């Protein structure tokens, strides 16, 4: 496996956690690099999860960095509000943003990392010129909206193209994947150039989520 220039990061997704006990569930992933929080509005994606009030409570309940993934319409309006809560990273979807460059700059101005997500069928070519405005590029490896889906290998060539584009800029931008990440698929994604991995059921379905995180990290060291 050819390692990316960045140290691999594991971001467990609380979409697979017990929503009735989120504070406890956060304590079970104390070794995570960040907590991935999926915000869905039942419009941009066919599912409804949580919003600003719950994220504000999560912010108060953990010192882990919050990696907010907005699968919502009106991203230009709502994304800055998550940055204002103190979330370390806010991801908006390219398909939902009216002015992605302006939005990325607004997030950074509010001291949040700016990240942009692309659905599996959305190409990266139209966005290569704005990569320098981002701290992270999220490539969905399932259709957004629900956890537990199977990894889409057809995204691997896009990950490779993203890796090359990021490396051409100096390799400072994280290349994140989200969807179907487990002990098998994480290696394929890492080989293609991903360095930041959202893992839901692969972590929270384990008896010991922190041990599952360690297991994924161990695979990436080989």
Catalytic machinery residues: 38, 178
Distance, CA of 208 to CA of 64 (rounded, Å): 18
**180 is known to lie in a ligand binding site:** yes
**89 is known to lie in a ligand binding site:** no
**148 is known to lie in a ligand binding site:** yes
**145 is known to lie in a ligand binding site:** yes
Which two structure tokens, joined as six digits, stand for 207?
Answer: 């008896």
Paired with 69 in beta bridges are: 38, 91
**69 is known to lie in a ligand binding site:** yes
Contact 90, 120 (CB under 8 A): no
Contact 200, 10 (CB under 8 A): no
Distance, CA of 90 to CA of 36 (rounded, Å): 10
**171 is known to lie in a ligand binding site:** no
**13 is known to lie in a ligand binding site:** yes
**132 is known to lie in a ligand binding site:** no
Strand order in the sheet with 35-40: 9-12, 196-199, 174-178, 136-140, 113-118, 89-93, 66-71, 35-40
Enter the DSSP assignment of 3.
-
**147 is known to lie in a ligand binding site:** yes
**179 is known to lie in a ligand binding site:** yes
Paired with 113 in beta bridges are: 89
Binding residues for a divalent metal cation: 36, 38, 69, 178
Binding residues for substrate: 13, 69, 145-148, 178-180, 200-201
Binding residues: 13, 36, 38, 69, 145-148, 178-180, 200-201
């Amino acid at each position: 496996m050819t390692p990316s220039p960045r140290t691999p990061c594991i971001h467990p997704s609380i979409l697979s956690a017990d929503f009735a006990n989120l504070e406890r569930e956060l304590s079970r992933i104390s070794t995570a690099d960040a907590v991935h929080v999926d915000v869905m509005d039942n419009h941009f994606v066919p599912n409804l999860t949580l919003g600003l009030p719950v994220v504000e409570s999560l912010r108060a309940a953990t010192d882990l960095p919050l990696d907010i993934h907005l699968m919502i319409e009106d991203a230009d309006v709502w994304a800055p509000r998550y940055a204002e809560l103190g979330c370390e990273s806010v991801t908006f979807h390219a398909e939902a943003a009216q002015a992605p460059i302006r939005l990325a700059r607004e997030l950074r101005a509010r001291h949040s990392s700016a990240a942009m997500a692309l659905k599996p069928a959305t190409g990266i070519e139209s966005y290569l010129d704005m990569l320098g405005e981002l701290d992270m590029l999220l490539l969905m490896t399932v259709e957004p909206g629900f956890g537990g889906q199977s990894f889409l290998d057809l995204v691997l060539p896009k990950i490779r193209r993203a890796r090359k584009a990021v490396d051409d800029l100096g390799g400072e931008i994280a290349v994140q994947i989200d969807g179907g990440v487990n002990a098998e698929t994480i290696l394929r994604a890492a080989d293609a150039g991903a360095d930041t991995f959202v893992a839901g059921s692969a972590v929270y379905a384990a008896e010991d989520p922190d041990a599952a995180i360690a297991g994924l990290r161990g695979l990436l060291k080989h």
